[in-house]
Structure 1
Amino acid sequence: MQELQLRDIHEAVRPAFWPPAAGWWWLALAAILLVLVLGWWLRRRRRYRQALLKLFDETLAQAADNPARVLAISGLLRRAARRHDRAADTLEGEAWLAFLNQGLIDAPFKAEVATLLLQGGFRADVDAQQLQVLQALARRRFLLWMGVRP
């Protein structure tokens, strides 16, 4: 038998770290685009939320007194409810309150707040503290129906 002459094994040159392969460039480009689109979407969403809050606050600021503020709150809630369900703005009384509480865990539109919302616009005197509670609940519900987290 013939003897073969063996040579030393030489490892191949490792690929360089830079420049990366084309797939890595595409992945980096996709990541950058994703960050840009996400930033644009978040900015747009924040502006929409700020516009809704401004609308809510300006509508209440234009009301002359507390009963007018209650009517303004009711109008804003009905406006937002129409976006959620077309027939919602025609609801009255207990049906309207049940619709307001729909989907909320603690059902906040009850007792004094419910009475204030239903009758407060027709009263001569409205308690400022109850109005603040109603305003906070209405703002939360308004934002939820308009598709924004409160």
Structure 2
Amino acid sequence: MGLKLLDWCHPLIPFPGSLYLETLYSEGIPVYRFIQRPGDLVWINAGTVHWVQAIGWCNNIAWNVGPLTARQYQLAAERYEFNRLRGVKSIVPMIHFSWQLAKNKRGTSSFLSTMGEVFALHWTATAHPSAVPSTFRLSHWVHEDKGRSRKADR
């Protein structure tokens, strides 16, 4: 069912309006709707397609949190790149986070800090090509077909 959901949603993300509930229901895709009351915490996993709508006056406070692991970072980086290529502004400061991750290597795996360096350079190269060393090539680090570091395969 997950692949079916991704295949259906891929051309629609970001959603221009509603989630087309009738289509989701008819395709057998699970939909959870609820009202979040004051003091309630809603936790959704990485990659979950979600839609938030106010039913009245509200203050919205959201945190993007996750464990500091290479997999979590990869998911965040992929989503950032997906949104960036579609002109969607990210609410997560991934470029700044990546540079900080590369700079402050204490407490992280060498693979995770290397991923931080690679993606920080990649995103900087996209915005300011002259600021990146000419020897840098993202394809040296990441398989296009697997989306993970070659160093992880060792």
Give the alignment's TM-score, normalised by structure 1.
0.24
More helix by share: 1
Q: Look at both structures and tell me which one has the larger radius of gyration over its CA atoms.
A: 1
Higher relative contact order (CA 8 A, sep 6+): 1
